[in-house]
Every structure is written in C-alpha cells, then in structure tokens.
Amino acid sequence: MRLHGGAVLAELTTRFGEQARAKVLSGEVVDADGAVIDAATVLPAGASVYLYRDLPDEVPVPFDIPVLYRDDDIVVVDKPHFLATMPRGSHVAQTALVRLRRELGLPELSPAHRLDRLTAGVLLFTARREVRGAYQMLFARGAVRKTYLAGAPVDPDLELPRVIVNRIIKRRSHLQAVIEPGAPNAETLVELSAPGLYRLTPRTGRTHQLRVHMASLGLPIIGDPLYPKVIDVAADDFSTPLRLLAQRIEFDDPFTGIRRMFLSRRTIDGFDAR
C-alpha cells in the first residue's frame, strides 16, 4: 500500500485497525527495501509499505517441485499435480510461485505462463523483472510449441490423429468451460501415442482446453473431476491425479535466438514422459 505520509503506525492503525497496529509492533510490516517498520518509523507521502493479511490454513500439497533448469533469467520446473501455478482463490501459500520464491530466494520470480492446478509438467518462470515481458510475450503470441500427454480410454472406432477446432468459453464462477457456437478460438491436435496414451498439441491456450476437447471426443482424461461431470473431491485427497502432463515446451529464446527445449521427467501410468 502507499502512504499519505507521516508516522506509519498511526496511518496503518487508522486505515486498518488494531490488527495492523499489532503487525507493526510484531515486526511483520516492511518498506519497499525490506526494512522492518517499527512504532517510530516516519515515511514520506507516496512511500510503499507491505502489510500481509492473515491467510486461512491451507492443506499442504505434499509434493516437491523439481528444478529442470535455472540460469540468471529463467527457472524451469517440473510442477506436480494439485499445485496451482500462482495465488488464486483459496490457494496462496500452496502455489508453485510462492513456494519457489521462498525455496530459491528469488523475490522477483514470476510465471511466464500457467498450468492448471491439476496438470503436472514443465512450467517456466522468469527470475528478473527485466526479462519478464519478453518471455511472457512468447507464450501470449503462441510462439512456444507445447506438447502434452494424457491418459484416457480407448475408442477403437475413433479415427486419429485429428484436429479439434471449436469455440470454448469459461465463465467466471462456473467450474466447467463449455463449447459454444461461434467463431473458433480453440484448436488441438490429438494423436494416439500408445493404447490409452494420447499426445496433445494445443495451438491455442483456452482455459481447460485439452480437458474439454478430450471429453468432447468421449475420451475424458482419467482422474478429471470436472469433465464430463463435476465430482466433489476433498481438498486433502491426492489419491487420484489428473492424467495430464505438460511434457515439453520448445521456443526460440527472445534474447539469444537459440532454440530451447525443456522436457518433463514425470510419467503417466507407467509411460515414460520422454
């Protein structure tokens, strides 16, 4: 938050009450440089201080986040199932972003793209704000080739490979995305890699796109609690992961022009992701 100026303790107490006062007195409020604010601190108008609200208890996600690659600009990890990419809704501390910032000591870490909470696999973060926009733009422009693996039933009568093209809409407060008439905005190449294992190459990036497209073929991804129907799963139930893996990403580095490729080390039901 930005200050009006003056004694920090008095301003925070006026604006946020006794809870904010207690946080100052316990050393939980810091300025833009990370220095602890105390009862005597006076700052000019426009100065920033950081006051973090208390969060409800979250169910710990009991899986590590292996680092696949790291340099001064990017960090590439192998995200586990059940861990959100970044804070949203009831998931804050138990997200890849917050955990990695703490574990790696990188306060400017930021995701260049997102994976659904239930999807595992390759996830790229930028380590410095100076390079953030260039890598995020690669994903926004569709300049990153992404390959997924999915475990799903087999339909011997379904002709594959095939390209699915349609319009997917995800509305706020609705758990499921839906296919609607209108101009197409979602495209996925679906190939059978082995019996029960599918290679999915999305050419767009709509919310839940791969899960919706597989369900539309009558091949819902194993472990999916949303498609084709919503299943209530307890927050601490990690027994049935979604069989969807972001297996590979490839792109030309925006600074060096070098072709880069990162590959997950995870497996799906005994199939090697590589």
The catalytic site residues sit at 116
Please give, one letter per residue, the 3-state secondary structure of 215-269.
HHCCCCCCCCCCCCCCCCCCCCCCCCCCCEEEEEEEEECCCCCCEEEEECCCEEC
Please give the backbone phi and psi of residue 7, each rounded to the nearest 5 degrees, phi first.
-70, 120
Strand-pair category, 120-126 with 244-252:
parallel
Give the burial string for 156-184 (b: 16+ CB within 10 Å, else e). eeeeeeeebebebeeeeeeeebeeeeeee
